[in-house]
Amino acid sequence: MTKLTEQPSNQIASKVVKSMTGEEVISISRMLTGDQNFVFAVTTADSEYVIRMTDEGHKQKFQAAIYWQKMLIPLGVPLAEFIQTDLEGKYSPFPALLMKRLLGNDLVNVYSDLTDAEKKSLASEIIKIQALVTALPEGPGFGITNSYEHAHEFKTWYEFLMQRLHFFQEKVKNNKVFDPEKVSKVIAIAKNIADDLKAIPATPFLWDASERNVLIHDGKITGIVDVDELCFGDPLFVIALTSTALELEKKDNVYTDYWTELLSLDQKALMRLAFYKLFYAAAFMRKHSIQTTNSKKVMFDTELLNNIFQQALKRMDG
């Protein structure tokens, strides 16, 4: 197994791309994206590529990405399709996935340049894309998973959420940056709405197609990237992730407000969405200051995050 002290480099990624394509690499640079993988933008004389690389211990995520592509691309979900893969170390010690580079940039990186009309149009597009995913069968269990075969751990959506909240609480307590009692409040609210959360079916959706992983060009979605997992449960979950993440980036919530409006949600659904925003405020508290798999330090504005939590708590109380 590759030692965790070793990391994919520009030189290694360049060598792998040349071996996979037979093309000479003109330029290569590491992209500042994702928490788990090392991602490189590569230009050759003939094309532009993106190569994702990881260590042997995380190869299962690449296997999952291939698994979901085989299911989602035939449905019309606009994923960046892998054109070459190396999971067995043929070209380097690092499992690798190669794809053509799609036009565009992550939503968060172009968000400030979008008009409100474009944000509404993008909300309509992501709703249609998520609807394609729901054509898949319901899961045999709930939560974020690598495959249908691995989706048995949680028997209800409520059980999945509670497991995550208790995990957040323990990490926040150990981190000593945020007050763990905040997470205790989220847990108490979850218990109060347990019946509603237990009633949620195991609907498949792209849980991480949020402010990142959704590529935008000329005000339109050009593709979804980094789909290593699907989630089975309430598709409103991803709206809350997107909304909270945009707030942390000091962006407005026009996009997610339109997303919510276009779904014509009833009061129970709006209540769940408010809860998920509170959930994600706690999730980001847990994530603050961690070291990611691909050697990045995650840091947030702690005052802003505390304020986001308080505002979410007020909305939930309302």
Does the pLDDT of residue 61 top 80, yes or no? yes
In sequence order, the β-bridge partners of residue 49 are 42, 100
The reported pLDDT for the residue numbered 175 is 86
Share of the chain above pLDDT 90, in %: 87
162 within 8 A of 297, measured Cβ to Cβ: no
Q: Torsion-angle region of residue 156: left (phi > 0), alpha (psi -120 to 50) or beta?
A: beta
- Over residues 80-129, the pLDDT tens digits come to 999 999 999 999 999 999 999 999 999 999 999 999 999 999 999 999 99
Q: pLDDT value at position 3?
A: 39
Q: Please tell me whether residues 170 and 268 are part of one structural domain.
A: yes
Q: Check whether 176 has a pLDDT greater than 60.
A: yes
pLDDT number for residue 298: 67
State whether 93 and 125 are in the same domain.
Answer: no
| Final residue in a domain of this structure, among 100, 134, 152 | 100
Residue 231 pairs in a beta bridge with: 144, 205
* Domain final residue pick, 48, 73, 100: 100
Q: What is the mean pLDDT of the chain?
A: 93
Q: Residue 173: CB partners within 8 Å, gap ≥ 6?
A: 180
pLDDT of 7 reads 87
Q: Looking at the structure, do residues 20 and 142 belong to the same domain, yes or no?
A: no
pLDDT at 177: 85
Is 1 part of a structural domain of the chain? no
Are residues 252 and 189 part of one domain?
Answer: yes
91 and 147 fall within a common domain: no
Determine contact, residues 23/42, Cβ cutoff 8 Å.
Answer: no
The answer on pLDDT for 291 being more than 80 is: no
Are residues 178 and 274 part of one domain?
yes
The residue whose two tokens read 């609807």 is 131
Q: What is the CATH number for 36?
A: 3.30.200.20
**Average pLDDT over every residue of 206-228:** 97
Same-domain status, 87 and 159: no
In a domain, 287, yes or no: yes
| 257/243 Cα distance (integer angstroms) | 8
- DSSP label at residue 19: H
Counted domains in the chain: 2
**CB distance 32 to 105 below 8 Å:** no
Cα separation of 206 and 133, whole Å?
Answer: 7
Give bridge partners of residue 220 from the DSSP assignment: 217
Q: Write the burial class of residue 43 (CB in 10 Å: 0-12 exposed, 13-18 middle, 19+ buried).
A: middle
**Residue 258 has which token pair?**
């339109």
Confidence band, pLDDT 50/70/90 cuts, at residue 4: very low
- For 260-288, what is each residue's pLDDT tens digit? 999 999 999 999 999 999 999 999 999 88
How many Cβ atoms from other residues are within 10 Å of residue 155's Cβ?
Answer: 13
Q: How confident is the model at residue 296 (pLDDT cuts 50, 70, 90)?
A: low
Helix, strand, or coil (residue 35) = coil
Mean pLDDT of 26-53: 90
Mean pLDDT of 297-311: 89
Confidence class for position 34, pLDDT limits 50, 70, 90: low
Contacts of 169 (CB under 8 A, 6+ apart): 180, 183, 184, 187, 282
Angle at 308 (CA atoms; ends 288, 310), nearest 5 degrees: 115
